[in-house]
């Protein structure tokens, strides 16, 4: 196999979709070479010398910036989770369409870039602006109907309130190095606290709009039905919901009887912070607190451990983890309605064999 794929689980070759092998989790920052890759279309080839980022639409002063100019603007570095809204999809019963992600369509990276608000302020937004649209330079015909006949760019929007927040960055570095082609070189948006579809890669255009954006990846894909004023409307997927995931043991792992086994994982809660992770080793009947390794903070994940004295007798056992966040929300035990094939955030059982 191609060396490029050595550190990943390959989900799809065309376009390239790669999963982080979550059972290898051992650092707060996910190394770039094993970070998951989610592409809808072939990766575009971009000549950084002729590349420009355009800021246009309902603004006083449309302008464009080169890569060199962007790198000279005031920057910030912060760590944040990127999680695909389809992460954990393989666990849905019955099976659904879409990439069959296990636990690894998620990672935590350190992102460096220019706050989006710096560029918006320079352009001078219309007082009637409601949505900011971000367009990638990749193009294709989407996989799922109803789909447009001609190729479209990957594009997504943010409401003004989130777009103006200080954590939203026009990113050119990931884990201290220039972005790789797969993660959006030369420049991508990163929207900490929101599912991955918001963080548009290979960014080429930012359009300030006085209308709510209804594009394919906004209202057809990565959206769900929700009742509003008595009738269902399409609502775009936005914030990451809370979750604790078990890296070890992995599903169907053989665990030795009567030993100390360190259960290990990560937990994250989008725009809030994790306050508690609990573990059950009896299929959800009783719960005990795991130890958080380091300080929890919004946007980033926190690693956790639980020291498990495994049963004396051989047999089967179901391990679970459950997160609680700073707003008091707890990860649900069952999958809620209206989620389609996205936001799989309920507690996932990890069956293991004691031997």
Determine the 3-state secondary structure of 160 from DSSP. Answer: helix
> Is 248 among the residues that bind Mo ion (CB under 5 A)?
no
> Is 324 among the residues that bind ligand MTE (CB under 6 A)?
no
> Is 88 among the residues that bind ligand MTE (CB under 6 A)?
no
Determine the 3-state secondary structure of 205 from DSSP. Answer: strand
DSSP 3-state helix, strand, coil percentages of the chain (rounded to 5)? 10, 40, 50
Contact (CB, 8 A) for 202 and 189: no
Residues 198 and 171: their CA atoms lie apart, in Å, by 13
The item of Mo ion, ligand MTE, none sharing an interface with residue 39, based on CB under 5 to 8 Å by kind, is ligand MTE
State which of residues 25, 32, 36, 276 lies at the interface with ligand MTE (CB under 6 A).
36
Q: In the stretch 77-96, what mask flags binding to Mo ion with x, by CB under 5 A?
A: -------x------------
The number of residues that bind Mo ion (CB under 5 A) is: 4
Residue nearest to Mo ion (CB): 84
Stretches 46-54, 58-66, 196-204, 343-351: which one binds ligand MTE (CB under 6 A)?
196-204
> Is 193 among the residues that bind ligand MTE (CB under 6 A)?
no
State in angstroms the smallest separation of the CB of 314 from ligand MTE.
40
> Is 155 among the residues that bind Mo ion (CB under 5 A)?
no
86 contact partners, CB below 8 Å, separation of at least 6: 98, 99, 101, 105, 341, 342, 344
DSSP labels for 25-86?
Answer: --SSSPPGGGS-EE-SSPPPP--TTT-EEEEEESBSS-EEEEHHHHHHS--EEEEEEEE-TT
Pairing of strands 223-228, 152-159: unpaired
CB closer to ligand MTE, 15 vs 159: 15
230 contact partners, CB below 8 Å, separation of at least 6: none
DSSP labels for 267-307?
Answer: EE-TTS-EEEEEEESSTTS--EEPEEES---SSS-EEEEEE
Contact (CB, 8 A) for 303 and 265: yes
Here the tokens at position 312 are 């004396």
Stretches 189-197, 201-209, 257-265, 277-285: which one binds Mo ion (CB under 5 A)?
189-197
Q: In the stretch 153-182, what mask flags binding to ligand MTE with x, by CB under 6 A?
A: -x----------------------------
- Closest C-alpha to 324, from 282, 281, 287: 287
State in angstroms the smallest separation of the CB of 321 from ligand MTE.
22
State which of residues 19, 102, 131, 138 lies at the interface with ligand MTE (CB under 6 A).
138
> Is 197 among the residues that bind ligand MTE (CB under 6 A)?
yes
> Is 200 among the residues that bind ligand MTE (CB under 6 A)?
yes
CB closer to ligand MTE, 84 vs 281: 84
Q: In the stretch 21-50, what mask flags binding to Mo ion with x, by CB under 5 A?
A: -----------------x------------
State in angstroms the smallest separation of the CB of 193 from Mo ion.
15
Residues 171 and 36: their CA atoms lie apart, in Å, by 17
The number of residues that bind ligand MTE (CB under 6 A) is: 18
> Is 39 among the residues that bind ligand MTE (CB under 6 A)?
yes
> Is 243 among the residues that bind ligand MTE (CB under 6 A)?
no
Contact (CB, 8 A) for 298 and 271: yes
Q: What is the dihedral of CA 331, 8, 169, 339, to 10 degrees?
A: -40
CB closer to ligand MTE, 194 vs 304: 194
State in angstroms the smallest separation of the CB of 138 from Mo ion.
14
Would you tell me which residues interact with Mo ion (CB under 5 A)? 38, 84, 196-197
Residues that bind ligand MTE (CB under 6 A): 35-40, 82, 84, 136, 138, 154, 183, 196-197, 199-202
């Amino acid at each position: 196999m191609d060396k490029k794929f050595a550190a990943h689980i390959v989900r799809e070759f065309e376009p390239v979709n790669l999963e982080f092998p979550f059972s290898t989790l051992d650092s707060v920052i996910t190394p770039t070479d094993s970070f998951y890759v989610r592409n809808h279309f072939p990766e575009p080839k971009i000549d950084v010398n002729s590349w420009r980022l355009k800021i246009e639409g309902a603004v006083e002063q449309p302008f464009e910036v080169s890569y060199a100019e962007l790198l000279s603007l005031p920057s910030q570095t912060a760590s944040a989770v990127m999680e695909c809204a389809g992460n954990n999809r393989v666990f849905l019963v019955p099976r659904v369409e879409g990439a069959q992600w296990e636990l690894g369509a998620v990672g935590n990276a350190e992102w460096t870039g220019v706050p989006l608000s710096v560029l918006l302020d320079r352009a001078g937004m219309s007082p009637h602006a409601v949505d900011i649209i971000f367009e990638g330079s990749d193009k294709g015909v989407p996989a799922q109907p109803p789909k447009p006949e001609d190729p479209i760019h990957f594009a997504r929007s943010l409401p003004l309130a989130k777009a103006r927040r200080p954590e939203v960055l026009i990113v050119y570095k990931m884990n201290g190095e220039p972005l790789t082609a797969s993660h959006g070189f030369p420049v991508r948006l990163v929207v900490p606290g929101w599912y991955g579809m918001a963080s548009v890669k290979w960014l080429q255009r930012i359009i300030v709009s006085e209308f709510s954006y209804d594009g394919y990846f906004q209202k057809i894909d990565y959206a769900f039905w929700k009742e509003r004023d008595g009738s269902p409307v399409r609502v775009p997927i936005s914030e990451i919901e809370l979750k604790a995931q078990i890296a070890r043991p992995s599903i169907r792992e053989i665990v030795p009887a009567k030993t100390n086994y360190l259960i290990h994982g990560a937990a994250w809660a989008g725009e809030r912070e994790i306050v508690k992770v609990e573990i059950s080793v009896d299929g959800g009947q009783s719960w005990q607190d795991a130890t958080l390794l380091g300080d929890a903070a919004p946007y980033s994940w926190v690693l956790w451990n639980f020291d498990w004295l495994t049963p004396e007798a051989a047999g089967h056992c179901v391990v679970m983890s459950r997160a609680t966040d700073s707003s008091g929300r707890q990860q649900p035990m069952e999958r809620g309605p209206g989620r389609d094939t996205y936001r799989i955030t309920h507690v996932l059982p990890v069956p293991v064999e004691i031997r």
